[in-house]
Structure 1
Amino acid sequence: MPEPEASPPTDPIAAPALISGVWRHDGSWVDRTGPYIRRTVSRAHATTPEEIDEALAYARASVRTIGALAPASRAAVLERASALALERRDELARLLALELGKPVKDGRGEILRVADTFAVCAAEARRLGGEVLPVAGWERGVGNTALTYRAPAGVALAITPFNAPANLLAHKVGAAFAAGNTTLVKPPPQAPAVSNAVVQLLLDAGMPPAAVQILHGGVEVGAALCADPRVDVISFTGSSAAGAAVARAAGPRRTVLELGGNAATIVCEDADVEHAAAVCARTGYSNSGQSCISVQRVYVQRAVYQPFLDAFTKQVQQLKVGDPLDPDTDVGAMVTEEAAERVVSWAAEAARAGATVLCGGTREHATAAPTVVAAPPADAKVVVQEVFGALVAVSPYDSFDDVLALCNVGRFGLQAGLFTKDLRRAFTAWRELEVGGLVVGGSSNFRLDHLPFGGVKDSGIGRESPRWMIDDFTVVKTLVLRDLSIWGDN
């Protein structure tokens, strides 16, 4: 595969809105400054209130058209989209590097997941069906027949985050289209060009223009869309605070929220310490730690705490930090300088409270040096809040019961990791940890896109994966046939 170009483009990439099947180039624009190169890399159309109203009206008028497409037709489009994602992998990874500072090696991984996600959505479209209900199993049902099928909800709203803007857009639009809906996309202001590129990929694969629109803007655009009764179902990925605002605006409508986390990984005394350290180093700083399941807290049994800490710090210090367009870079820039400063200030605050900063704790513009904080206080921000950055806190624990309790403290519960060879511990942790998912033999930062993903507590509502999302993007419709039975009348 050809390597991405070493130099960024000289002209900003235009990211127009797509409304009523037309790319809109008129009006005002908002610039996106690349966090690593620190100059404008893309320019997004600023959606107006009038355009929001037009898009909603067009979406409502398109509901029957898209819902009438056979599942096989939807699946064929999604399969072509999967193939196109692989063909355009380098191009899309380069856009991620420019707009977000994401290393191209991480970007290529994200686009591979986009291809997988579209393929899984296609498979789920082909599985859509219903049930023959056991209506004659009760006396009052004898002589009747009842059937169900899953019908499209209608208009879906997909609000996507900056940290994985391509793959999470693929999840939401792919599943919504597989279910037969038309979708309004409100992408993150930090990634307008890559979001447009994924939508263009779907159109090139044959998705009808009536099935997808893209409206750029800030919180005001998202708030207007969430509050509008013409939207039937909302899928949002982002911070817990923003998710709460979405839920308030949405009211009683169906809402799926995939929110934040301060993911914990447990390393038991029977673990392969060197392996665990290498995995945690690799998955704690990929995408500069900007993932809701990135390794943030590592709890290590006291007997192996120091060996783990030494091995982990050594691995972290070997990570290559720098230009995200360099294929060898492990850690690029964070999304903004403010985000990088959060890593620096929270590490310093923990150090003032008694923790030890073993490496990092500095930044150059938006690039935060990979930071290791050892033994922070239990109430430090790096423990109880979501750092969403290039920082991992490592703490010792004594008993397994103790560490499960430590992991459960706080308002988040998305995903956890566990390194142990003891199957009984694995089942105990699966049962006792207040999280949506547990990875045994790996860190918290592992996800397969065809498995259910989501959290408990303030980490969200619902599960984000094509099969489970289709449940949210459809409604069950029941047909009762009176005095007509496939079961017999006696």
Structure 2
Amino acid sequence: MINTELMRVTSLIEGKSVTQEQEKTMEVINPFNGEAVGKVSLASKENAKKAIESAHQVFHKTMKKMPAYRRAEILSKAADLLEERTEEFAKVLVLEAGKPIRDGRGEVGRAVQVIRFAADEAKKIEGEMVPMDAAIGGENRIGMVRRQPLGVISAITPFNFPLNLALHKLAPAFAAGNTVVLKPAGKTPLSAYMLVKLFEEAGLPQGALNLVIGNGSEVGDVLVTDSRISKITFTGSPSVGIDLRRKAELKKVTLELGSNSPNIIFNDGDVKAAAVGLVRGAFAFSGQVCISAQRIYVQRDVYQDFLEQYVPLVEKLVIGNPVEETTDIGPMISEAEAIRAHEWIEQAVKAGANIVTGGNRKGTLLEPTILVNVNQDMKVVCEETFAPIVSVIPFDTEEEVIAMANDSKFGLQAGVFTSDINRAMRVAEEMETGGVWINETSTYRQDNYPYGGVKLSGIGKEGVKYAIEDMTEIKFVGIKLG
């Protein structure tokens, strides 16, 4: 059983709860049944400024001077603690995000791995020697390049992977010696609160991680524009990300802004493997995944074969209460989002699309939906659905499908199924995306490779090693010998 007792959480500055005379509160709602599972005290602009000042002071007094082995020890301890509390965190993900319990455990497992990657990388941050005598006049000079932490990092995280995506920002930041002010999504602040407490228990200095729970309109600008912030790392919508980048001015920025990922199945590909993989690839966490398979392009002579294998697998998915071990598909994050997605299906049907399976909504539950006979102008194709909706589209030639796949304002990840290595590499080269998987769905992500998009999918890279590189600054030191 999952504990349904109301959690009461606040923002945290230097480990202390933030309280205010005129307290503004917000309820955290279970997306499946609409019940309140948490009550949050909302932060003010002044709270956000105090969180930044605290992180700024701790960076200069403590974190930037902390040796690598100590940062690695703290991260390793945090990973051990999180692993021990897998069930506790997984259950909170069920309550606040509506994530099926099996997927919740999977997210915690990945989160543990992210921290352990960061602990390893903390001890590998290297510089280099510059051959000064390669330049005329460089004799008797030594040059070295060192990597140093940036300072205070503002981390703004989404609801769909509230634990793992937070750690993709926090763990590399601490590995590099930075401090962080974390603003979680308003719908999923409970796991963030627990995570901050866990890092404190692991030995992270108080103030190195401060939690600000508040409305974007109230605290968002402070966390972007304050001069003490050195970098902003944000996962969310393109409209917010673009506005954030404009306000950030010369600060470093990493933006992950979503996609409508294409997956291409050629007639020489493993159709069965593609069909099996794309069940989860399109519908895991009700499609609320940035790299969820949204557009499936199938070469015409295997198109019908693919649908005949794919549809029955999708129809076997169990929809229902995310608490149940047998549940595959739980609720969307809110009824408003489910209504929006259902309206997009109806609009597509009115414009000529056909529903092969699914298409029905009950509250926050939207059936996994397969559409055919779609066109490029439909929202279910050209926008990010962020819902359990996939379109299956036939194609004839390699050139045609590359053009169709690239005809998008997004470009995060893609999947390609083929047994021809030459074709695989040709298509991978031509795809306008930050990443391409061969014989794997676009939805697959490991936490140790560079992850990030092009076009409207964002700028910068996550993936622990690559995030650390962007969370450090290069400094040159030269010595003239006597």
Using the size of structure 2 for normalisation, the TM-score is: 0.97
Provide, for residues 191-233 of structure 1, a one-character-per-residue CA deviation record: whole Å limited to 9, x for no partner.
1101111222211211111210000012121222101111011
Structure 2: distance between partners of 1:416 and 1:163: 20
Matched, 1:78 2:72: no
Superposition map of 1:252-271 within 5 A: 252-271=250-269
Q: Which residue of 2 aligns with 1:19?
A: 13
Matched, 1:293 2:291: yes
Q: Which residue of 1 aligns with 2:232?
A: 234
Q: CA deviation at 1:259?
A: 1.1
- Pick one of 423, 427, 430 that aligns with 1:429: 427
Q: Which residue of 2 aligns with 1:119?
A: 116
Q: Which residue of 1 aligns with 2:383?
A: 385
CA contact (8 A) 1:342 1:387 kept: no
Deviates further, 420-429 or 52-61: 52-61
Q: CA deviation at 1:398?
A: 0.5
Q: CA deviation at 1:43?
A: 1.6
Q: Which amino acid aligns with 1:63?
A: F
- Pick one of 14, 18, 34 that aligns with 1:38: 34
Q: Which amino acid aligns with 1:85?
A: L
Structure 2: distance between partners of 1:224 and 1:236: 14
Quick one: percent identity of the two aligned structures?
37
CA contact (8 A) 1:43 1:192 kept: no
Q: Which runs of 4+ in 1 moved over 4 A?
A: none
Q: Which residue of 2 aligns with 1:341?
A: 339
Deviates further, 154-163 or 340-349: 340-349
Superposition map of 1:80-95 within 5 A: 80-95=77-92
Provide, for residues 433-464 of structure 1, a one-character-per-residue CA deviation record: whole Å limited to 9, x for no partner.
00000011111000000110000001011100
- Pick one of 19, 24, 28 that aligns with 1:28: 24
Q: Which runs of 5+ in 1 are unaligned?
A: 485-490
User: What secondary structure, in the 3-state scheme, does the structure 1 residue paired with 2:33 have?
Assistant: coil
Structure 1: distance between partners of 2:229 and 2:476: 23
- Pick one of 53, 56, 64 that aligns with 1:67: 64
User: What secondary structure, in the 3-state scheme, does the structure 1 residue paired with 2:449 have?
Assistant: coil
Matched, 1:157 2:151: no
Q: Which residue of 1 aligns with 2:46?
A: 50
Provide, for residues 288-331 of structure 1, a one-character-per-residue CA deviation record: whole Å limited to 9, x for no partner.
10011001000000001011112111111000000001111110
Count of residue pairs the alignment pairs up: 478
Structure 1: distance between partners of 2:266 and 2:339: 33
Structure 2: distance between partners of 1:422 and 1:239: 36
Q: Which runs of 5+ in 2 are unaligned?
A: none
User: What secondary structure, in the 3-state scheme, does the structure 1 residue paired with 2:108 have?
Assistant: helix
Structure 2: distance between partners of 1:24 and 1:12: 19
CA contact (8 A) 2:15 2:197 kept: no
Structure 1: distance between partners of 2:396 and 2:340: 30
Q: CA deviation at 1:332?
A: 0.3
Q: Which amino acid aligns with 2:387?
A: G
Structure 2: distance between partners of 1:320 and 1:163: 20
Q: Which residue of 1 aligns with 2:410?
A: 412
Q: Which residue of 2 aligns with 1:200?
A: 197
Q: Which residue of 1 aligns with 2:353?
A: 355
Q: Which amino acid aligns with 2:256?
A: E
- Pick one of 315, 318, 335 that aligns with 1:320: 318
Q: CA deviation at 1:25?
A: 4.6
Q: CA deviation at 1:8?
A: 4.9
Change (3 A) 1:370 1:15: same
Q: CA deviation at 1:355?
A: 1.1
User: What secondary structure, in the 3-state scheme, does the structure 1 residue paired with 2:174 have?
Assistant: helix
Structure 2: distance between partners of 1:16 and 1:362: 38
Q: CA deviation at 1:471?
A: 1.4
CA contact (8 A) 1:343 1:361 kept: no
Structure 2: distance between partners of 1:338 and 1:8: 26
CA contact (8 A) 1:187 1:216 kept: yes
Provide, for residues 170-201 of structure 1, a one-character-per-residue CA deviation record: whole Å limited to 9, x for no partner.
11111101110110001000111011112222
User: What secondary structure, in the 3-state scheme, does the structure 1 residue paired with 2:207 have?
Assistant: helix
Structure 1: distance between partners of 2:259 and 2:41: 32
CA contact (8 A) 1:110 1:167 kept: yes
Q: CA deviation at 1:358?
A: 1.1
Q: Which residue of 1 aligns with 2:447?
A: 449
Q: Which amino acid aligns with 2:12?
A: L
- Pick one of 400, 410, 417 that aligns with 1:402: 400
Q: Which residue of 1 aligns with 2:363?
A: 365
Structure 1: distance between partners of 2:19 and 2:294: 42
Q: Which residue of 1 aligns with 2:101?
A: 104
Q: Which residue of 2 aligns with 1:487?
A: none
User: What secondary structure, in the 3-state scheme, does the structure 1 residue paired with 2:331 have?
Assistant: coil
Structure 2: distance between partners of 1:430 and 1:409: 15
Q: Which residue of 2 aligns with 1:488?
A: none
Deviates further, 266-275 or 114-123: 266-275
Q: Which amino acid aligns with 2:198?
A: L
Structure 1: distance between partners of 2:15 and 2:87: 27
Q: Which amino acid aligns with 1:59?
A: A
Q: CA deviation at 1:134?
A: 1.3
Structure 2: distance between partners of 1:197 and 1:20: 15
Using the size of structure 1 for normalisation, the TM-score is: 0.96
Structure 2: distance between partners of 1:342 and 1:372: 17
Provide, for residues 26-82 of structure 1, a one-character-per-residue CA deviation record: whole Å limited to 9, x for no partner.
533211111102111112220012211211211221122111110110001111111
Structure 2: distance between partners of 1:237 and 1:222: 13
Q: Which amino acid aligns with 2:74?
A: V
Matched, 1:279 2:273: no
Q: Which residue of 2 aligns with 1:460?
A: 458
Q: CA deviation at 1:379?
A: 1.3
Matched, 1:311 2:309: yes
